[in-house]
Structure 1
Amino acid sequence: MTSRRKRSETDTLEQYRVSLTNVEQQQEIAAAMTGFGYDTAAIAEGKLLYENMRKAYDLNKQEDNETLESKINLDAITETVAEDYSLDRKKAKVIFRNDPLVLHKLALSGAAPKAYIKWVECMKTFYNGLAAEPELITKLSKLKFSAEDAESRLANIQELEYARSQYLKEAGESQEATKAKDTAFAEVDKWMSDFYAVAKIAMEDKPQLLESLGLLVRN
């Protein structure tokens, strides 16, 4: 039997579905397998494992889609916040270039940090600092920056933090779903491996029947 690692998961799902369906629906196969211990109860066990695998696969796909959606949302918000901050920072560095105290208070000294946490804290320091001192915004208004802009930027940062929290939550759930899916696949792989091994013995004199189970038969 071909290892599942060499086939896609969808191919594996389909082969197992066909095998577990036809072993019951084709009387000749059912009779042959019953004689080797795979009666209705045994097949029901395999079908239950298959259904658990199918549910785990579907849940994993759903979680992956939700993770991708949250990542796209996070990226869009991050881009907006980054663009606003970059422009606002340039404006402030021009207006306050001769005031080292203000540059320090607004975290404008040096380059903006690239690490996420430090970057967000730097932005909060900047916009909160401006919001706390209206006279600074008055000076910045020369370059088209207002108190409303500061409030809007802070709201966007909150949205960014929420979006990142949601993304990390979805990513964690996706990882758990992947583990559950892999476990379910491994359980069915083992069961089906034994099933196919017995099927080859049970239908040794009629190997063409194995094709109904999704197994290729060499002429």
Structure 2
Amino acid sequence: MVTKKTLSEAEALEQYRVSLDNVEIQPEIATTMAEFGYDSTVVAEGKTLLTETRQVFDFNETEDDETSDAYAAFKLLKASLAETYRMHRKKAKVIFRNDPKTMDKLAVSGSLSKAYIKWLETVKKFYSVALKDNKIQGKLVRLKITADDLTATNTMISDLEAARAEYLREKGESQDATKAKDAAFEKMDDWMSEFYAVAKIALEDKPQLLESLGVFVRS
């Protein structure tokens, strides 16, 4: 991928577009390049390839944006749940400080794992156990953790799991789109590489015309 070594993908696409437009628009360039095999039919092939590459590039950009949005939504939900659970856990530790059995049932004994899956399982256990035990609920109310609070937070867990599933789905689609884009650019870059190589030969004695195709010529 010679051209893209120094250009971003968007810049490469724009350079390719300008080159393929100018090879048709400028009569002298068109005539000379046609003599070297790049007539209107061949240039049209390049333009078709460029259109296809542009489409997969745009699609990949869209998929990347959707992945970023999905991750942002997941991250926001996780932060909200983590903060709510942190306070509930803190209160539960106070309420059941002399009841190690209940603390174990609620999984509030010891330290809290930072690993997502282990963390989430700990959070899920707290609300699952609390929602099934009226005695625990009765004691939690003392520090303003109501049954409605427990239910609402348990719903947040479901929302978080759905948000993570959406993020992972979008991430997979984005990775597939990236592979398709890379494959398209590989074909496009190869085609344009030969185009530029031929242009340098065909227009060797006309550097100003060569530059109109996006080929830098040292003065």
TM-score higher than 0.5: yes
Q: Which residue of 2 aligns with 1:156?
A: 156
Q: Distance in 2 between matches of 1:134 and 1:5?
A: 66
Q: Report if aligned partners of 1:134, 1:147 keep a CA contact under 8 Å in 2.
A: no
Aligned counterpart, 1:36: 36
Equivalent residue for 2:147?
Answer: 147
Write the letter of the residue equivalent to 2:194. Answer: D
Task: Describe how 1:30-179 pairs up with structure 2 within 5 A.
Answer: 30-179=30-179
Instruction: State the Cα distance separating 1:177 from its structure 2 match.
Output: 1.1
Give the Cα–Cα distance (whole angstroms) in 1 for the partners of residues 130 and 45 of structure 2: 67
Q: Which residue identity lines up with residue 217 of structure 1 in the other structure?
A: V
Q: Offset at 1:200? A: 1.1
Structure 1 residue 52: Cα displacement: 1.1
Residue in 1 aligned with 2:187?
Answer: 187
Kept in 2: contact 1:74–1:167 (CA 8 A): yes
Any gaps of 5 or more consecutive residues in structure 2?
Answer: none
Q: TM-score if structure 1 supplies the norm length? A: 0.96
Counterpart residue number, 2:196: 196
Question: Following TM superposition, by how much is the alpha carbon of 1:60 offset from its aligned partner in structure 2, in angstroms?
Answer: 1.0
Superposed CA offset, 1:78-134 (max 9, x none): 110000001000111111111121111111111112111111111111101111011
SS at match of 2:97: coil
The Cα of 1:2 is off from its aligned counterpart by 6.2
Q: What is the CA-CA distance between 1:3 and the residue it aligns to?
A: 3.3
Query: For residues 14 and 117 of structure 1, what CA distance do their matches in structure 2 show?
Result: 44
The one-letter code matched in structure 2 to 1:24 is: E
Q: Distance in 2 between matches of 1:2 and 1:171?
A: 29
- Residue 22 of structure 1 is matched in structure 2 by 22
Hey, which bits of structure 1, 4+ residues long, moved more than 6 A? none
> By how many angstroms is 1:5 displaced?
2.1
TM-score using structure 2 length: 0.96
The 8 Å contact of residues 2 and 189 in structure 2, kept in 1 or not, is answered as no
CA separation in 2, counterparts of 1:36 and 1:24?
A: 14
Counterpart secondary structure, 1:214? coil
Q: 5+ residue gaps in structure 1?
A: none
- Structure-1 separation of matches of 2:145 and 2:2: 65
For 1:102, give the aligned amino acid: T
Deviation at 1:41, TM superposition (A): 1.4
Deviation per CA, 1:151-176, whole angstroms, max 9, x where unpaired? 00110000000111111111111111
**What is the deviation of 1:145?**
0.5
